[in-house]
Structure 1
Amino acid sequence: MHREFWSMLFGHTQNSWLDETISTITFATYHRRFEAERHTIIPPKFLVCHLLEDGNDWRAFMSGIATYPDIMVPWWDVDRVYMLIHSYPNHWLFGELRLESIEVHLYDSLGRGTFENFELDGTLSKFEAWVAKFLDKTNYWKRRNIPKRPLNMTFTLEDSVPQQSSVLGDCVVFVCMFMEQLVSGQPIHEFMDPKNADLEFRQRMDKIYWGSCVGPMWLDVIYSYLP
């Protein structure tokens, strides 16, 4: 992680937003994946909303042969697909596609607004059609040795996740921590002080990405500089 990342994480820059580092954070999370773990992460550069407009062919990603990053795994070898989703003009939320039940669970630090917009503008139905199309193109059903069936995809917004609430609010911080907790099997719904959720998530990110490299004494010094 570069110097600017830490300045933004600790709230020293003007806006403290981490948009520019989201790909780096995602790849760092992906590279910690153990071979036996049954999940994959769609790179944030290939945004779901953009995909639905430009018609990109994602067969390489779903088949695990894409080189961005070079450790993708095929969808027929995983149970869950995690997605960092960009919503115009400048918001991120997190998605979890559960392949066995064909359910999509959305985690958003700004409430129901984006989810309701996705319902109204047809984004959710477009996404279902896209998944059905590429599951067929990659021979997903045959490779997984299960009968092909209609998706009848369901979409659920998880209402009880932590929400932005302070001057340090940044949807990228929340998305990265949603991702971290889901891939590591931790519950997202654990209790935290709503007024300090932003700060708590920033401190958790620090412990994950830097905490293993510095001692507890230095972490206390670092936290003393946080707003």
Structure 2
Amino acid sequence: MLYDSLGSKKDKDLSHWDRNFRQIFQAHLPIYLIKSEVMARRNMDPNTYHVSFMYETNVPRQGGLYGDCGIWVTIFLNRLSQNKPLSFRKPVQAALAYCEHLAEFYWKYKIPVPKGSTQ
């Protein structure tokens, strides 16, 4: 399932980049799953495994003004991993609030780097 905060796309509306991404992903994901032994552990048959693309339709739309694509990736990962719904009354405000929350979190748990360090 693809969660696209820019809005779902129909196959005929895909850009060259999207089409290329799909082809590469479909070719390389099975190889990764075989090499990492995921298919073997889950008793999956590599000969019948295939990748398909489905866009979720009920996904919040990013505002576009604040460069909030990345924050929506983290929101989706967080909420989907906790089985929480993806619905928001005000998506732009939700993205800004989540940015503030992450900034506070990372400031609280920051690791000081000594001056002159090349890290």
Question: How many residue pairs are counted as aligned between the two chains?
Answer: 104
Q: 1:162: how far off?
A: 1.0
Residue in structure 1 matched with residue 80 of structure 2 by the alignment: 182
Alignment of 1:116-195 (within 5 A): 116-117=14-15, 121-144=19-42, 146-148=43-45, 149-165=47-63, 167-188=65-86, 190-193=87-90
Alignment of 1:45-124 (within 5 A): 105-112=1-8, 116-117=14-15, 121-124=19-22
Q: 1:203: how far off?
A: 1.1
Distance 1:185 1:132 in 2: 26
Letter in 2 for 1:106: L
Q: 1:186: how far off?
A: 1.0
Change (3 A) 1:125 1:206: same
Is the helix fraction higher in 1 or 2? 2
* Residues 115-146 of structure 1: per-residue CA shift (max 9 Å, x gap): 822686332132111011122223333233x1
Question: Does the aligned pair in 1 maintain the 2:8–2:56 contact within 8 Å?
Answer: no
Change (3 A) 1:198 1:192: same
The answer for unaligned runs of 5 or more in structure 1 is: 1-104, 215-227
Q: 1:161: how far off?
A: 0.9
Q: 1:155: how far off?
A: 0.7
Is the strand fraction higher in 1 or 2? 1
1:202 to 81, 96, 102: 96
Question: Does the aligned pair in 2 maintain the 1:164–1:198 contact within 8 Å?
Answer: yes
* Residues 59-100 of structure 1: per-residue CA shift (max 9 Å, x gap): xxxxxxxxxxxxxxxxxxxxxxxxxxxxxxxxxxxxxxxxxx
Question: Does the aligned pair in 2 maintain the 1:165–1:198 contact within 8 Å?
Answer: yes
Change (3 A) 1:208 1:134: closer
- The alignment's C-alpha RMSD in Å is 3.2
Q: 1:170: how far off?
A: 1.8
Residue in structure 2 matched with residue 40 of structure 1 by the alignment: none
> Which is bigger in relative contact order (C-alpha 8 A, separation at least 6)?
2
Distance 1:208 1:200 in 2: 12
Which runs of at least 4 in structure 1 moved beyond 4 Å after TM superposition? Answer: none
Structure-2-length-normalised TM-score: 0.64
Structure-1-length-normalised TM-score: 0.38
Question: Does the aligned pair in 1 maintain the 2:62–2:69 contact within 8 Å?
Answer: yes
